[in-house]
Every structure is written in C-alpha cells, then in structure tokens.
Structure 1
Amino acid sequence: MQALLAADEDLRRLIAGDWIRYRKSPALQELSWDAHATCAKINRVFYDDPAEARRLFHELVPGAGEGIDFVPPISIDYGMRLVIGDRTFINADFLVIGGGQVTIGADCLIGPRCGIYTPNHAQDIARRLEGWELPEPVVIGDNVWLGGSVTLTPGVTIGDHSIVGAGSVVTKDIPSGVVAVGNPCRPIRRIEP
C-alpha cells in the first residue's frame, strides 16, 4: 500500500478525502479491481466453504468487527475504506460504491439490495469530463435497521437505533431513534422505548 501511495496522487487524495480522478488513476483502478475480484471469490465459495468466505471477507475489510454475518452476493469497491461494527448482519446484494469512508455501527441489520454510494461527480461540465469526483463519507450508527433496497447517498449519516423503511433514498442526515421513510427519506416518528 505504501508503494501505491507514493506512486499515485489520486490515491493520496482519496485517503485525504479530497477530489480524485478514478478513471486516470492506475492505483485506484487496481485497488477496486482487486476488491471486486475478492468479492467474486467470496460469492463463489460462500456456500461450499463458508469459513473461507468469511476469511476472505475479513481480508477484504480489515475494519470488520467480530460476529458479522452476511449473505452473498456482495460488491465492495474499496474494503480498506469500510468499517463494520460487531454483530452486524448484511443481507444479499450489498453494494458499496466509491472510495468515501463508510462506517457501519455494531448490531445493525442491513436489508437485501441496499446500496451505499459515496462519490459525487463534479457538476462543472469541464471538470466532470476530466473525471473529477469527490468521495464523501457515509456513517450508519449502532443498532440501525435498513429495510430492503435502501439507497444511501454521499455524505449522509444515520443516527443510532433508527429504522429506514424499504425502498427509501437517504439524501440528508437521519437523526437517532426515528423511523424514516420515502424518497427523499424523512423521519416520520420517534421510536418509543
């Protein structure tokens, strides 16, 4: 990794949370290619050798805690930019796109076909044609339940203990302890103890 960092300006920019040009960065392309190749191996061997699939998952995502359970297929661009808390469950068709830091808390339930998108491409036409994008972090607190087919957009945070209803598109932060639904997703009520 140190050699890649030294050789690739866009990888250094990614780690610093700055604008990058993925399409012009051999190091970023190599990292995402390797991550997707590992995901393909995990998806292939999961039912024949679950221990090997879990080993590969923890190799791909060094920030994965203990007792994480997942169902393939999974697709992750950069495992080094993903942190997952203990005992979190990830259902089928989990997708993490882009190089923004993604943090998922402990004891979360991630429904099937959930997608986390971290890159914002440049709005300026010339910069977008040059391939500039800004990866933004996504944070999911502890004990969050994402229903099926939830989409999280760049830069959002979901507070602890919240529930995001199936099919929701989260474009703004969701506070702790609420049920939130819709497109765009909005809190509709507090969760009472």
Structure 2
Amino acid sequence: MFSISYLVVNKIEKIIQKIKWDNYRSFFKYCGNNVIIDPTCTILVPDNFSIGHNSSISAYTVIYSAYGVEIGNNCLISSNCGISSINHIINSANRVNDPKDIGQHCKPVKIGNNVWIGMNACILPGITIGDNSIIGSGSVVSKNVPSNEIWVGNPARKIKEVII
C-alpha cells in the first residue's frame, strides 16, 4: 500500500514540476529547443537568462542573472553549481547601504557552446568561458577561460587543451 501511494504522489509531483518549469521558461530572455533544467534549480531574475539548444542544467544549481547570464548550445552544467552576475562591493561600510555602488561589481556571465561545467563549480561575475572548454568539479572561475581549454582548482587555472 505504501509503495503504491508513494508512486502516485511522486508521479503527481513530477507533473506539477514539469508544468512549473514549462511556465517558468516563458520568462527567460531566450530558451532554445531540447533544454533540460532540473526542477530543483533556482534561476533568479529569469528575464536576463538565456540558454541555447540542447543544453542541460542538473540538480540544485543556482543562477543569479540580474546582470545577464548567457549559456550557449550543447552545454552541460552539473549539479550544485553557482553562476552569478552580481557581487557586493568590498567596503564593508557600504556593502548593504549603498545600492548605487553595486553596479560597479556586477557584470554579465557568458558561457560559450559545447561547454561542460563540473559539479560544485562556481562561476563569478563578468566571466566568459570559451567554446568547447571544460571546468572541473569544485573549481572557482575568477578569470576568463579561452576556448578549447580545461580549467580546474580554486582559483581555476588551465591544466591542458581540449583536443577537437
């Protein structure tokens, strides 16, 4: 009895999540075809978020696209990643109280085509990741990543080229 009830409730939850995400995608700046976004993801300011064809975002990833986040075609973003286009200022006295300064530290994030971002990676504001690049699990990307490179670590650094 318990297992049948669980299966029914689980199926209903999946249907509700699919309806929620189908509706949510209508708020994106752009959403390509065949995009898969796990229902547990959070996308803040979705009207500044773009994602290309055949891309996917896995569970518990958080994207803060206040100043724009653009994800290209054929991208794989693993679970529990953080991508943000917004940051706080350094001066602690003004960190919360001076909203006019916040724009100085906020920049859009651009992720190229065919990019793979590993689990628990963090992409900071203003970062561009070039086509065909790979970001290793747990990496903190604080510098732009050229095309066709593999970057890992905290802070992330190049370890090798991607062979195409």
Give the structure-2-normalised TM-score: 0.83
Displacement of 1:46 in angstroms is 6.1
Mean Cα deviation higher: 55-64 or 158-167: 55-64
Cα distance change on mapping 1:89 and 1:159 into 2, 3 Å:
same
**1:138 equivalent in structure 2:** 109
Q: How does 1:140-155 map to 2 (within 5 A)?
A: 140-155=111-126
Cα distance change on mapping 1:162 and 1:102 into 2, 3 Å:
same
The question of 1:127 aligning with 2:94 is answered yes
The question of 1:178 aligning with 2:134 is answered no
Kept in 1: contact 2:85–2:108 (CA 8 A): yes
Structure 1 residue runs of 5 or longer lacking an equivalent are: 1-44
The question of 1:67 aligning with 2:25 is answered no
Displacement of 1:176 in angstroms is 0.4
Structural RMSD (CA): 1.7
Secondary structure of the residue aligned to 2:14 is coil
Q: Which has the larger radius of gyration?
A: 2
Secondary structure of the residue aligned to 1:72 is coil
Which amino acid is 1:158 matched to?
I
Q: In the alignment, which of 54, 71, 90 is matched to residue 104 of structure 1?
A: 71
Q: In the alignment, which of 53, 58, 67 is matched to residue 91 of structure 1?
A: 58
**2:81 equivalent in structure 1:** 114
Cα distance change on mapping 1:159 and 1:46 into 2, 3 Å:
farther
Kept in 1: contact 2:18–2:39 (CA 8 A): no
Cα distance change on mapping 1:187 and 1:79 into 2, 3 Å:
same
Kept in 2: contact 1:110–1:146 (CA 8 A): yes
Q: Name the structure with the higher helix share.
A: 1
Q: How many residues align?
A: 149
